[in-house]
Structure formats: structure tokens, C-alpha cells
Amino acid sequence: MALSFPDDCRYADSHEYVRSEGERVRIGLSAYAIDQLGDIVFVELPEPGTTLQAGETFGTVESVKAVEELVAPLGGTVEARNEALIDSPDELQNDPYGEGWLLVVRPDDAAAVSALMDAETYRGRLQSP
């Protein structure tokens, strides 16, 4: 998989991405994180209505190599989770920025999105030792 980092996303140090969609955001896991995990076999996501706190764990992704905690890049209320990933976790690898999204969230603070890294900064962070 080619590691891409779309410019319309913002990125957290913990490798989640956020894509703004009006008053909501779509949260996913970056191609870099998925590449590091390898073959994904299980995804655990919170139910709609769950409140996320920035920096807190909201679920897990399990691969044949490891179990990684998902960390909320911002606070807000979960409006939807990607049910297809629960049945077919490999979708995360196939299309991380499209069909492989994790959650749709209504942020508590819309300004929190702009506090995350842009694609260029995130790429640079990955390339530095």
C-alpha cells in the first residue's frame, strides 16, 4: 500500500486522522499506522452516543502483530461508527481514507481540528528519527 496522507485531513501524534465534514468530523487511522500494524483482524469501536475525551482511548485495532489502542484526537460525541469494519476489519487496510473510516463525531470544539497537524507536518514527523 502506498503511504498517502490527504491534504484535506489533519493528523494526531497517535496517527489518527480527522477530516472535517461541516459540523462533524470523520476519524480514521492513517495509512502509516495501518502499514505498521500489518494484517488487521479485529476492530473495537464505541457505540453512537459515546462521549470522547481528547487524548483518551476510544477503541482498539488488533492485528496479527499487536493490539493498538485508538486515541481520540479531539473531544466530542460519536454520531456513527463504521459497522462494516466490525464485520470486515480488513477494509481498514484497503481504503483507510475512504471506506476504512472509524467514527463520525460532533466535536465539542471545532477549533480542535485546526490544532492537529496538517499533512505536510505529519509527513515530516514520520520522516524524522
What b-and-e string marks burial along 37-50, b requiring 16 or more CB atoms within 10 Å of the CB?
beebeebbbbeeeb
Q: What is the pLDDT of residue 1?
A: 42
Looking at residue 116, its pLDDT comes to 97
123 vs 2, higher pLDDT: 123
Percent of the chain at pLDDT exceeding 90: 88
- Mean pLDDT value of segment 23-32: 96
Give 109's pLDDT tier (boundaries 50, 70, 90). very high
Tell me what the pLDDT averaged over the chain comes to.
94
Tell me the fold of 33-124. OB fold (Dihydrolipoamide Acetyltransferase, E2P) (2.40.50)
Q: pLDDT of 79-97, one tens digit each?
A: 999 999 999 998 999 999 9
pLDDT of residue 3: 82
Domain residue spans of the chain: 33-124
What are the tens digits of pLDDT across the range 113-124?
Answer: 999 999 999 999
Helix H, strand E, coil C: the string for the chain is CCCCCCCCCEECCCCEEEEEECCEEEEEECHHHHHHHCCEEEEECCCCCCEECCCCEEEEEEECCCEEEEECCCCEEEEEECHHHHHCCCHHHHCCCCCCCCEEEEECCCHHHHCCECHHHHHHHHHCC
d(CA 23, CA 118): 19
